[in-house]
Amino acid sequence: MHPTVAEPTAPFPASTHDHASCRDWILRRAESLCAEKKVRFTPQRREVLEILAASHRALGAYDILEHMHRVERRPPPAAVYRALEFLLALGVIHRMAGRNAYFACTRPEHGRGEIQFWICRRCGVVGETESVVIAGEVPRLAATLGFQVGAVNMEIEGECQACRGC
Amino acid sequence: MHPTVAEPTAPFPASTHDHASCRDWILRRAESLCAEKKVRFTPQRREVLEILAASHRALGAYDILEHMHRVERRPPPAAVYRALEFLLALGVIHRMAGRNAYFACTRPEHGRGEIQFWICRRCGVVGETESVVIAGEVPRLAATLGFQVGAVNMEIEGECQACRGC
DNA sequence: GGTATATTGATACAGTATATCATGTCAAAC
DNA sequence: GTTTGACATGATATACTGTATCAATATACC
């Protein structure tokens, strides 16, 4: 099972949170999910997740690439995209379509419902919520349209509490 | 003021709707909005909107470019992007971030609330709704996060009624 | 160890979008 | 009617995002 530590962060990560343990939680969850699913958490995949888990910011694939400092040579873009694809499938990162950017998921368990991404346009930090109201409203709207729901993506851009204080 | 014709289409455009008048409505609304705002609805901008209004599908910028048949030469990509930017600002088209695609807005008046985009993964047709429930839920969630909402983008991918019938 | 599978490396390229500077067009002021 | 200035477009180059393909390497399992 997953590490049963406390929820790593609030829905929107406060600047004061214990990020060392938050970061560890993200990595340990990935480890245990890989063990569960019998897939390999290779050094390359770990490195990409570590880079994302180092902050709560959404990073582009090429931003991640720049952080991958190898002694000999930098890996090709496809290496990053392969790792991102793997981590997305594992459920430990999310993709922000509106920004072509990726970030580490910090919520212990997302249900089948819809997730809302909140991104601060000043500091770039991303938060996540899972509203039961929206999770209920989407199927209701879909029913009136005769629409069969596949994937839902909801992104809210604005300013976080910390940045508004400045 | 805007043309006071009937609402052009249902939230999800039926295959049976009167598309000729729907198309005209989109173009005439753009004309009257440009007159209101004292900006120019140039032939190039009109052509891009006509291409989008020809269907209810979301098209990529380069798809649009291919439809721009000039006698002499095809305009450069930047021309399309400039027209798209103009039409976005005018409020007559929307951008689907998840697809890097653009489509003509068919809803008479969107309030300040959130719009939901529904895109069929089979036929590519896009519908729009404006849920009062979600419009109320977003500020409520934002308040609990201390987040100041800027732009909201919500996209639902799935299968429309017509395609499910197949 | 030998084989099948998964992963990574290497190279090339497709698709999306913008920067920059030159040129053209329109409409109002003179 | 010409000038002028703002807006719009053309032309060129390039940045950014993501994928295809095939070879080489590592891992797991027999």
For the stretch A24-58, pLDDT in tens is 999 999 999 999 999 999 999 999 999 999 999 99
Q: What is the CATH number of the domain that holds A89?
A: 1.10.10.10
Q: How much is the pLDDT for A1?
A: 47
Q: Which residues of A touch B160 (CB under 8 A)?
A: 145-147
Average of per-residue pLDDT across B52-57: 95
Q: Which residue is nearest to nucleotide D20 (CA to C1')?
A: A78
d(CA B11, CA A147) in angstroms, rounded, equals: 11
> The dihedral of CA B74, B76, B77, B79: what is its sign?
negative
Average of per-residue pLDDT across B146-162: 94
Interface of A with B (CB under 8 A): 11-12, 97-99, 116, 118, 120-121, 127, 129, 131, 133-134, 137-138, 141-142, 144-161, 164
Residues A26 and A90 in one domain: yes
Name the residue in chain A with its Cα closest to that of B135.
A134
Quick check: B161 and A146 CB within 8 A?
yes
Question: Buried (b) or exposed (e) across B47-77, using 16+ Cβ within 10 A?
Answer: bbbbbbbebbbbbebeebbeebeeeeeebee
Residues A24 and A88 in one domain: yes
Residues B91 and B51 in one domain: yes
**Nearest nucleotide (CA of A42 to C1'):** C7
d(CA B106, CA A103) in angstroms, rounded, equals: 34
Do the Cβ atoms of A144 and B133 come closer than 8 Å?
Answer: no
Q: Is residue B73 part of a domain?
A: yes
Report the domain count for chain A.
Answer: 2
CA distances from B77 to B44, B81, B82 (A): 12, 6, 9
Q: Is residue B138 part of a domain?
A: yes
Non-local CB neighbours of A61 within 8 Å, separated by 6+ positions: A77, A80, A81, A84, A100, A102
Q: What is the dihedral of CA A64, A67, A69, A75, to 10 degrees?
A: 20
Residue A52 class from Cβ within 10 Å (0-12 exposed, 13-18 middle, 19+ buried)? buried
Quick check: B151 and A134 CB within 8 A?
no
Quick check: A155 and B160 CB within 8 A?
no
Residues A123 and A66 in one domain: no
User: Predicted confidence band at B4 (pLDDT cuts at 50, 70, 90)?
Assistant: very low
Q: How much is the pLDDT for B166?
A: 63
Domain termination site, one of A46, A63, A95: A95
Q: Is residue B109 part of a domain?
A: no
Q: Which residues of B touch A156 (CB under 8 A)?
A: 138, 142, 147, 149-153
Rounded to a whole number of angstroms, the CA Rg of chain B reads 17
Q: Is residue A61 part of a domain?
A: yes
Residue A50 dihedral angles phi and psi, to the nearest 5°? -60, -40
* Residue-by-residue DSSP string for chain B: ----PPP-S-SS--TTS-HHHHHHHHHHHHHHHHHHHT----HHHHHHHHHHHTSSB-B-HHHHHHH---SS-PPPHHHHHHHHHHHHHHTSEEEEGGGTEEEE---S---SS--EEEEETTT-BEEEE--HHHHHHHHHHHHHHTPEEEEEEEEEEEE-HHHHH-
Q: How much is the pLDDT for B8?
A: 63
d(CA A106, CA A7) in angstroms, rounded, equals: 8
Quick check: A145 and B11 CB within 8 A?
yes
Whether residue A161 is predicted with pLDDT greater than 90 in this model: the reply is yes
Q: How much is the pLDDT for A12?
A: 87
Whether residue A110 is predicted with pLDDT greater than 70 in this model: the reply is no
d(CA B102, CA B88) in angstroms, rounded, equals: 9
Residues B78 and B26 in one domain: yes
Q: How many CA atoms lie within 13 A of A119 on its CB side?
A: 23
Domain termination site, one of B104, B132, B155: B104
Whether residue B111 is predicted with pLDDT greater than 70 in this model: the reply is no
Q: Give the type of residue at B85.
A: E
Q: Which residues of A touch B159 (CB under 8 A)?
A: 147-148, 150
> The dihedral of CA B157, B163, B165, B166: what is its sign?
negative
Residues B100 and B29 in one domain: yes
Q: Is residue B149 part of a domain?
A: yes
Q: Which two tokens stand for residue B46?
A: 């009109």
Do the Cβ atoms of A138 and A151 come closer than 8 Å?
Answer: no
Residues B56 and B129 in one domain: no
**Nearest nucleotide (CA of A44 to C1'):** C8
Å from A84 (CA) to D22 (C1')?
Answer: 22
d(CA B94, CA B130) in angstroms, rounded, equals: 14
Whether residue A141 is predicted with pLDDT greater than 80 in this model: the reply is yes
Average of per-residue pLDDT across A55-82: 90
Residues B25 and B51 in one domain: yes
Residues A89 and A121 in one domain: no
Whether residue B99 is predicted with pLDDT greater than 60 in this model: the reply is yes
Whether residue A70 is predicted with pLDDT greater than 50 in this model: the reply is yes
Q: Is residue A110 part of a domain?
A: no
Whether residue A91 is predicted with pLDDT greater than 90 in this model: the reply is yes
Residues A31 and A86 in one domain: yes
Residues B61 and B23 in one domain: yes
Å from B83 (CA) to C18 (C1')?
Answer: 14
Residues B129 and B52 in one domain: no
Q: How much is the pLDDT for A8?
A: 63
Structural domain span for residue A137: 116-165
User: Predicted confidence band at A137 (pLDDT cuts at 50, 70, 90)?
Assistant: very high
Residue B104, strand partner residues? B93
Q: How much is the pLDDT for A23?
A: 95
For residue A41, the SS3 value is coil
Q: Report the share of chain B in percent with pLDDT over 70.
A: 90
Domain termination site, one of A60, A95, A130: A95
Q: Is residue B10 part of a domain?
A: no
For residue A94, the SS3 value is strand
Q: Is residue A129 part of a domain?
A: yes
Q: What is the CATH number of the domain that holds B137?
A: 3.30.1490.190
Q: How much is the pLDDT for B11?
A: 82
